Structure 1
Amino acid sequence: MKLALVISSMATGGAERVLSILANSWVQRGWDVTLITTHGSGEPSFFFLDPEVHQRSIVIAGSARGGMVANIRRVRALRTILRETAPDVVVSFLNYTNILTLLASKGLGCPVLVSERLDPRVHELSPLWNAMRRLLYPQARVLINQTEAAASWFRPWMKGRVVIIPNPVSEPDLAGPPALELPPGSVVAMGRLHHQKGFDTLLRATALLRERHPSIRLTILGEGPLRAELEKLREELELDDVVDMPGKIQNPATVLAQAEVFVLSSVTEGFPNVLCEAMAVGLPVVSTRCPSGPEEIVTDGREGRLVPVGDTESLAGALAEILADPESRRVMGEAAREVIDRFSLEVVLGKWDAVFKMIELGTEGLN
């Protein structure tokens, strides 16, 4: 099998992490895999890639959202690479890249799978890009979504060619010293410092939580454009001695394993990898019921608690409830570990294999 995998970049991020896992798994089968970045900078992938993965980078200034001339050049460069590599199947990740890939592959005769990684009900495109998506996506052989909630939006105009494939969850790597040491009784959150992650709500919830648990400590792993704003809010809430924001780290499992509970305060998600990573180390979780993903991963009261988006008091209350009950934490943590079996790499690869087989056989009605 010859595959061409297309994504904007291989910087840190959930989609990038998943694509690196898939690429490595497929080359280990002996498949010929080329990974193409449409907005390359020449920098190496943040995530490990097997040396057998062929990497091609299109280095053109400008973002996908703007710059028509730059995007035309990207489409032409991508088309050239696809002609050279002649893949059996093209797999594209992320909405803007999906649109460029469908344009670049038009008339080449290679089937294209496009994978949406965000919930389109929340992450709206501009009128132009949305029109292009509606026009071009039906030309894809299959649309891959991570959750039923997101897939339901696409089904009416994809004529049933929608498949749900979650992200893989692996056994955590706890070997070696931890990237940093956490104080006892810690709560951990992780993600890009961005409005989407709702860390402002989490900081306010932590201020409330400290009234009930004076010894509470929160560590937020990640980096992003809101660092200065969040640090200012931390100071205003007098949480400088409570909340640590050490940035992004490699192998966060070694840090997660030291915590008492993991919290996801997001406003929206696609399929929250960090939630699954925390559950894989046996942590009970508190998550918002954000669209989409958490409600398809966590059952309220079993692996943790689900609370409304933006509800500071509910978030603080759920954290206080779990922190106050060691036995509940233990039982929820054991249930959380089952995420490894539910979304194992073998299970996820099997779903991709089924899609490849359907394409080979020309099967329709993939949902």
Structure 2
Amino acid sequence: MKKIAIVIADLVLGGGQRSALNLAAALSVNHDVTVLVFQDSYRQYKVPCKLINLDCPDKKSTIAKAYNVFKRAFRLKRHFDAEKYDYIFGFMESANFPVAMASPDSILSVHCNPHEIGTYETWLMKLTYPLAKHIIAVSEDVATILRDDYNMKKVSRIYNLVSFDEIKQQGSDEYHHGRPYIVALGRLADVKRLDLLVDAYAKSKLQQVCDLLLIGEGEMRSNLEQQIESLELTDNVILTGSQTNPFRYLKNAEFLVLSSRTEAFPMVLIESLVLSCPVVATDCPTGPREIVIDGENGLLVENGSEVALTEAIDRLYYDKALLAHCKDNAFDSVQHLSADKVVNEWLALGESA
């Protein structure tokens, strides 16, 4: 049995948070796992193991943020020295920076496209990531960027861990909408380009027979509400807000749409496919092209193209043979991402790195 620490800044709704807790749950079956957070406000998930709050919440100003990185690193080092973990895993940038500073034995998991982070975060990444023992990228494209554009040598790719059983269980909860619908699931943020999806839907034939559900919350909500109203789609495009169980919506959807400008490795695509719900996704950097097999489990479309997105959602909905084919293939297309395989990759890297 190994003693393992998993460090993540917080446990608000998000793909990185789900991935960290999925790994914690899977590792906890045979190992002693502790999840460490810097703040425990607005927690949206049950924690499957011991949880420790180091009480170093986010700061807003650049100076306060810089001080906070060192404060977090100090508290982590003190904790690591006392607990003597066999493996230390950092998740996402806000945890990775202080984790790397606190332990040269740490393994960092990168969950974003490095080209999309800010100048300050890029500086911190270049400063701290080489201090860690190894870096895990959640997609091949992210791994390539880290190696080629940031000259990082100790990089491997391990896909996000998805809990198939939990998704299926939650997906079995009932949800009745009244007529067919498609879904988009994630933060209402500019990078998700939900405005593009709403425009594409407005120009499609779907609005006559099929609704669009936007599941999530975020800073773009008011903009989207105004856009939906101006397009006279208030009866067809529904903003559901955040949902603790979004999988019941996915289970009964015609398909899911991901319209993002950029991603890292979008877990929502995998979660949708686990529930035999096909996907339409923009071919954005990075991740979708490693998940979506065009014409087999969904459709991959030109990034940022409203016309291509409109054509794709119309095609997948109205071509019933294609839709059925993608539904039939969806679950099998993600079998290589099963929990056992991903856990073994993490443990093997911990031993060898």
For the aligned pair, the TM-score class normalised by the smaller chain equals over 0.9
Tell me the residue number matched to 2:50: 53
Tell me the residue number matched to 1:200: 195
Within 5 A, what are the aligned runs for 1:301-320?
Answer: 301-320=295-314
Given the alignment, which residue of 334, 337, 343 partners 2:337? 343
Checking the alignment, whether the CA contact within 8 Å between 1:58 and 1:77 is kept in structure 2 is no
Checking the alignment, whether the CA contact within 8 Å between 2:207 and 2:236 is kept in structure 1 is no
Relative distance call for 1:60 and 1:266 in structure 2 (3 A) is closer
Checking the alignment, whether the CA contact within 8 Å between 2:171 and 2:251 is kept in structure 1 is no
Relative distance call for 1:54 and 1:214 in structure 2 (3 A) is closer
Tell me the residue number matched to 2:156: 163
**Relative to structure 2, which stretch is displaced further, 84-93 or 52-61?**
52-61
Q: Which amino acid aligns with 1:3?
A: I
Over residues 262-317 of structure 1, what are the superposed CA-to-partner deviations in whole Å (9 max), with x where a residue is unaligned?
A: 11111111111111111111122111001111000011111111111221111111
Specify every segment of 5 or more residues in structure 1 that has no aligned partner in the other structure, as ranges.
Answer: 360-367
How many angstroms apart in 2 are the aligned matches of 1:203 and 1:66? Answer: 39
Given the alignment, which residue of 297, 316, 321 partners 2:315? 321
Q: CA deviation at 1:175?
A: 6.3
Tell me the residue number matched to 1:296: 290
Question: What is the TM-score when the length of structure 1 is the normalising length?
Answer: 0.89
How many angstroms apart in 2 are the aligned matches of 1:261 and 1:21? Answer: 24
Q: Please tell me whether residue 173 in structure 1 is matched to residue 169 in structure 2.
A: yes
Q: CA deviation at 1:193?
A: 0.3
Checking the alignment, whether the CA contact within 8 Å between 1:113 and 1:142 is kept in structure 2 is yes
Residue correspondences, number: 346
Tell me the residue number matched to 2:32: 32
Q: CA deviation at 1:139?
A: 2.1
How many angstroms apart in 1 are the aligned matches of 2:254 and 2:123? Answer: 46
Within 5 A, what are the aligned runs for 1:1-367?
Answer: 1-29=2-30, 31-38=31-38, 40-42=39-41, 45-50=43-48, 52-60=49-57, 62-63=59-60, 67=64, 68-105=66-103, 111-121=105-115, 123-126=116-119, 128-156=120-148, 157-159=151-153, 161-169=154-162, 170-171=164-165, 172-174=168-170, 177-178=173-174, 180-210=175-205, 214-359=208-353
Specify every segment of 5 or more residues in structure 2 that has no aligned partner in the other structure, as ranges.
Answer: none
Checking the alignment, whether the CA contact within 8 Å between 1:279 and 1:337 is kept in structure 2 is yes
Question: What is the TM-score when the length of structure 2 is the normalising length?
Answer: 0.92
| Equivalent position SS for 1:256 | helix
Relative distance call for 1:192 and 1:333 in structure 2 (3 A) is same
Q: Which amino acid aligns with 1:343?
A: L
How many angstroms apart in 2 are the aligned matches of 1:61 and 1:256? Answer: 32
Checking the alignment, whether the CA contact within 8 Å between 1:2 and 1:87 is kept in structure 2 is yes
Checking the alignment, whether the CA contact within 8 Å between 1:41 and 1:59 is kept in structure 2 is no
**Relative to structure 2, which stretch is displaced further, 70-79 or 321-330?**
70-79
Q: Which amino acid aligns with 1:33?
A: V
Over residues 307-343 of structure 1, what are the superposed CA-to-partner deviations in whole Å (9 max), with x where a residue is unaligned?
A: 1122111111111111112221111111111144121
Q: Which amino acid aligns with 1:191?
A: G
Identity %: 29
Tell me the residue number matched to 1:363: none
Checking the alignment, whether the CA contact within 8 Å between 1:2 and 1:32 is kept in structure 2 is yes
Q: CA deviation at 1:120?
A: 1.1
